[in-house]
Structure 1
């Protein structure tokens, strides 16, 4: 998939999320206030935070597709990780605010049961937000966008919070008003937990965490498949958004010419880039074989 298609899909998913959340936030806020449901108002605030988060994702995806420049030699791919981190912080702040509000309601001596209309709003929210999650995570995984996947989980936590709200509201309508603020606290906990998980994932990518073992093994195998490459070692890789940058060392017969060694390296780079489309660039250093200390090398068998 080329970068233009990736950007187009990312923008489409973001706009669907923004429009959907605007409609849901308005609906849940109105019904929450009319019905007197603490859990539904908390759920509306959660959907409102989704609007902000998805707007940030939209801008992050646009920035991540900017080409390299004099200040950013490796492009702007990490913008998506930064966006995912911002979303995580928004989620945690939102969750703590909702939890505090629900706690104050729980302590109130004048707890009242909400109207039954809030139940239908919660059901609608569950259906819509679960669909938004499935659609957004599918696109996010397809274009390998950490920011979009984080936003999808934002939708999923909203669906979960609506389930908690539904249970609380239903219980309150049946004569147990204390269940409504308790549901609000449960919603808050789920939101904070999801935000913390997304935050850790974003930190890992910003710390240049290596790709999966499967990716690293495939890089090694592809390199060793080149005739003339006797061994490969010091394979290092890091993610930059959905792209991967690789550095490695190959060993070739020490009696061949420098030009021939360069040809082997060029062929290895070509093979890696053409069989693994997410790899943006490969830097290969050529050493003579055998090395005096090749304990860490991977030789052909």
Structure 2
């Protein structure tokens, strides 16, 4: 949405070339008034496509984790391994982390209302908080089990099957982690990335079962709890990364490179004399922008508006995952003039 600052009175337009320029500007404004793809169907379709990809990732990864847990459950029945039983139950529970994300993606499809004027995209950030809490719970549970096993060592049976189950658990979780993280970054969903990191922690837990079985096979029963402690430390590092990702979203942080890219795009627009404040924020997996530009102080209202519209148009085309932009045009000059003097006491 383009905005302009205080209107400036244009000069006479009686000459032919001035009239031609006016017609060109009116033509541009007609383009603005006509329903534009960035403000209607295309933007909505792009947002729905991103949500659909997220839902598809959740469904496929949910199926993969359930299959992994079922394979482990069969081996638990054959081996009687309590450690593997814990990992199997953990994988079943972790498959269910897709539920809050699926709810968030579904909510994100809802249209904005007079109460939720920016829509429901922030539901993804709330789901991300839940996932971070689940990663923290995973770290606490893994650490507790490892310390308990250090205090009370226990023998393991059917080590070969237990080791195989550990490999299955690691491979299944790592595949899900890579899939979620890749698509999450492509569609800009911090919550999906956090959930991918969560799956990676579960892979580490399964790997601990494998390494512990190997140590027990070599006659060192304490290998299992020691490795468990090390894996708990690794999960804590993953927890830090996931928490930082969600914290940045909740605090409206963006990559400074995106700000620099937006400034370059605006500076290249014909009629932009200077680039002022540029603000970006994530709403779900979409970006919104609020920018200020300076135009000639003697430009007419129509000319200033046309420059603002072109700036918005360029931003929408060239800035990745940008769904909406508000461009405010201020008169640039005359020297020493403050066009916002009346607002100084409010800033």
Q: Which residue of 2 aligns with 1:12?
A: 56
Q: Which residue of 1 aligns with 2:280?
A: 237
Q: Which residue of 2 aligns with 1:113?
A: 156
How far residue 203 of structure 1 moved from its aligned partner, in angstroms, is 1.4
Q: Which residue of 2 aligns with 1:215?
A: 258
Q: Distance in 2 between matches of 1:32 and 1:185?
A: 22
Q: Distance in 2 between matches of 1:293 and 1:24?
A: 68
Q: Distance in 2 between matches of 1:284 and 1:5?
A: 26
Q: Distance in 2 between matches of 1:242 and 1:45?
A: 31
CA 1:283/1:216 → structure 2, altered by over 3 Å: closer, same or farther? Answer: same
How far residue 39 of structure 1 moved from its aligned partner, in angstroms, is 4.2
Q: Which residue of 2 aligns with 1:179?
A: 223
- Please say if 1:282 is aligned against 2:325: yes
Q: Which residue of 1 aligns with 2:341?
A: none
- Matched residue count: 292
Q: Do the aligned partners of 2:135 and 2:201 also contact (CA within 8 Å) in 1?
A: no
Q: Do the aligned partners of 1:79 and 1:241 also contact (CA within 8 Å) in 2?
A: yes
Cα deviation code 1:167-226 (max 9, x no counterpart): 1111112221111222333333333432232122111111111x2222112211221222
- Please say if 1:195 is aligned against 2:247: no
- What is the DSSP-based 3-state SS (H/G/I as helix, E as strand, rest coil) of the residue aligned with 1:232? strand
For residues 40-59 of structure 1, what are the structure 2 equivalents within 5 Å? 40-59=84-103
- What is the DSSP-based 3-state SS (H/G/I as helix, E as strand, rest coil) of the residue aligned with 2:200? helix
- Please say if 1:167 is aligned against 2:230: no
Q: Do the aligned partners of 2:294 and 2:330 also contact (CA within 8 Å) in 1?
A: yes
Q: Do the aligned partners of 2:178 and 2:196 also contact (CA within 8 Å) in 1?
A: yes
TM-score of the superposition, structure 1-length normalised?
A: 0.88
Q: Can you give the 5+ residue segments of structure 2 that lack an aligned partner in the other structure?
A: 1-44, 339-347
- Please say if 1:261 is aligned against 2:324: no
Residue 67 of structure 2 is aligned with which of 14, 23, 42?
23
- Please say if 1:81 is aligned against 2:130: no
Q: Can you give the 5+ residue segments of structure 1 that lack an aligned partner in the other structure?
A: 295-301
- Please say if 1:130 is aligned against 2:174: yes
Q: Which residue of 2 aligns with 1:94?
A: 138
- What is the DSSP-based 3-state SS (H/G/I as helix, E as strand, rest coil) of the residue aligned with 2:115? coil
Greater RCO between the two (CA within 8 Å, min separation 6)? 2
Q: Do the aligned partners of 2:47 and 2:286 also contact (CA within 8 Å) in 1?
A: no
Q: Which residue of 1 aligns with 2:250?
A: 206
Q: Distance in 2 between matches of 1:36 and 1:69?
A: 54
Cα deviation code 1:59-95 (max 9, x no counterpart): 1122122221122111111111211111010111122
**Which structure is larger by alpha-carbon Rg, 1 or 2?**
2
What is the CA RMSD across the aligned residues, in angstroms? 2.3
- What is the DSSP-based 3-state SS (H/G/I as helix, E as strand, rest coil) of the residue aligned with 1:2? helix
How far residue 37 of structure 1 moved from its aligned partner, in angstroms, is 4.1
Q: Distance in 2 between matches of 1:128 and 1:48?
A: 12
